[in-house]
């Protein structure tokens, strides 16, 4: 080896030694950021109903973000530049995705929206679950099945709304959705089965699927058992999220 080559080799090693502390620091910072991210993720607790269990809350941004990162998922809303909002017709809003549902960065405990039926189904399957059927969702939302219900709920009673005899306590503010577990706890101890965001169901009719629960935009009648709506399975909007059953 010539003295010139040797000096270059030593120079490269010196550069590497100088660079390693910075590289190590960057890796530590990235790791710390991932720990903070995971600590803020709100995993849904499953509640046993009858022959199945259902998420206590809607799937959150934090949970979906972790899944998307691990699996390399890019949603249709992200690919197309943004999801939809109703404004005298469906309008695409640039930059509106599950990460920024109304153009601003979402909190980790907000319900995930701007996802298609297939994207919701894939998330549930990844977590060894699936989307609830119409019958499962209606049973969980309106019929109190707990032996010792909280508040004034009565075992065996069928309620008009997922929060009781009246819609009081649901998020139907006509402005935006709220973080999970911030509204009134409803029938069977579930949150936001009425209001907040529509929820994809397993039931299909050609290229459409049922959604249930209404959303923050709609009045209380859309949250009743008669308020379910069919939507195209490839649709994604600021009003539609989901939860899983197991």
Q: What is the DSSP letter of 133?
A: P
**For residue 246, is it within any domain?**
no
Number of domains in the chain: 2
Residue 152 and residue 193 in one domain? yes
168: domain CATH number is 3.90.1580.10
Assigned domain for 197 exists: yes
Beta-strand relationship, 240-241 and 229-232? unpaired
Shared-domain flag, residues 125 and 223 = yes
Distance (Å, whole) CA 181 – CA 161: 17
Q: Are strands 229-232 and 208-212 parallel, antiparallel or unpaired?
A: antiparallel
Contact 231, 199 (CB under 8 A): no
Tokens 């080559």 belong to which residue? 5
E strand residue ranges, the chain:
46-48, 53-55, 84-86, 90-92, 198-205, 208-212, 229-232, 240-241
State the Cα–Cα distance between residues 220 and 194, nearest whole angstrom: 8
From first to last of its 246 residues, the chain has per-residue pLDDT tens of 444 333 334 334 433 433 444 443 444 444 344 434 444 444 579 999 999 999 999 999 999 999 999 999 999 999 999 999 999 999 999 999 999 999 999 999 999 999 999 999 999 999 999 999 999 999 999 999 999 999 999 999 999 999 999 999 999 999 999 999 999 999 999 999 999 999 999 999 999 999 999 999 999 999 999 999 999 999 999 999 999 999
The structure's pTM equals 0.83
Residue 7 and residue 61 in one domain: no
114, 100, 127, 110: which is closest to 62 by C-alpha? 110
CA distances from 236 to 62, 94, 158, 239 (A): 18, 13, 32, 8
67 and 13 assigned to the same domain: no
- Domain shared by 35 and 65, yes or no: no
Range of the domain at 124: 46-241
**Whether residue 134 is found in the same domain as residue 15:** no
């Amino acid at each position: 080896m010539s003295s010139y080559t040797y000096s270059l080799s030593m120079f490269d090693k010196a550069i590497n030694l100088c660079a390693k502390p910075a590289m190590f620091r960057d890796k530590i910072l990235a790791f710390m950021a991932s720990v903070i991210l995971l600590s803020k993720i709100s995993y849904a607790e499953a509640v046993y109903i009858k022959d199945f269990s259902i998420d206590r809350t809607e799937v959150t941004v934090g949970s979906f973000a972790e899944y998307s990162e691990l699996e390399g998922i890019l949603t249709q809303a992200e690919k197309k530049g943004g999801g939809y909002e109703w404004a005298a017709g469906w309008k695409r809003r640039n930059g509106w995705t599950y990460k920024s549902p109304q153009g601003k960065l979402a909190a980790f405990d907000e319900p995930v929206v701007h996802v298609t039926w297939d994207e919701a189904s894939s998330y549930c399957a990844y977590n060894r679950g699936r989307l609830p059927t119409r019958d499962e969702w209606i049973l969980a939302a309106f019929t109190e099945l707990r032996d010792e219900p909280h508040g004034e709920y009565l075992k065996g009673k069928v309620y008009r709304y997922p929060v009781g005899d009246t819609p009081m306590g649901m998020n139907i503010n006509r402005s935006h959705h709220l973080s999970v577990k911030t509204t009134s706890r409803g029938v069977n101890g579930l949150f936001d089965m009425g209001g907040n965001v529509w929820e994809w169901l397993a039931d299909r009719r050609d290229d459409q699927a049922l959604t249930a629960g209404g959303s923050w935009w709609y009045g209380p009648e859309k949250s009743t058992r008669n308020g379910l709506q069919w939507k195209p399975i490839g649709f994604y909007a600021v009003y539609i999220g989901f939860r899983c059953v197991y």
